[in-house]
Amino acid sequence: MTANDLLELFVGEIGLPRREFLFDISFWEARRILRGYRNRYRDMWSAIRWHAYRIMGAIPYTDLEKAGIRRPTDLIKFPWDNDNMPEVEMPSEEDTEEILEILRQEKEKNKLHTKT
């Protein structure tokens, strides 16, 4: 994951203010924010899947067993259904250095703007 990917994810998708992403959060905080964002709608989607399964079972002349649907997870699988769900991908050392360089450039740019 590159620095640009992280900026796009945190600022564009999550909605974290750009300045906060660049200057105020540490990498361990970024990891927790990303994990929380990815789990944000987990309970809602699991409940929707369960309701869809129950509604399908209540429809007359519908045989879920014949369709191979014995439980809600047979209807649709989510990444969190797997017990071996991978950890949130963290940036490599090269990516970290790239991010730090961007931060240094932003800091220098801000110093120039405040002096004028």
Taking only the tens place, the pLDDT of each residue in 16-44 is: 888 888 888 887 788 888 888 888 888 89
Which long-range contacts link 102-105 to residues 24+ away (Cβ below 8 Å)? 102/3, 102/22, 103/22, 103/23
User: What distance in Å separates the CA atoms of residue 96 and residue 90, rounded to the nearest whole number?
Assistant: 9
Cα–chain center distance at 106: 26
pLDDT for the residue numbered 57: 86
pLDDT for the residue numbered 88: 55
User: What distance in Å separates the CA atoms of residue 33 and residue 105, rounded to the nearest whole number?
Assistant: 25
pLDDT for the residue numbered 115: 62
Phi, psi dihedral angles at 56 (to 5 degrees): -60, -35
Of the chain, the percentage scoring pLDDT greater than 70 comes to 89
Higher-pLDDT residue of 83 and 64 is 64
pTM reported for the whole predicted model: 0.51
pLDDT over 60 (residue 116): no
Binning pLDDT at 50, 70 and 90, where does residue 51 land? very high
pLDDT for the residue numbered 36: 86
- Domain of 52, in residue numbers: 3-115
Closest listed residue to residue 7, CA positions, set 34, 38, 28: 34
pLDDT for the residue numbered 48: 93
Structural domain tally of the chain? 1
What average pLDDT does the structure give for the chain? 81
Q: Which residues contact 11 (CB under 8 A, 6 or more apart)?
A: 17, 18, 21
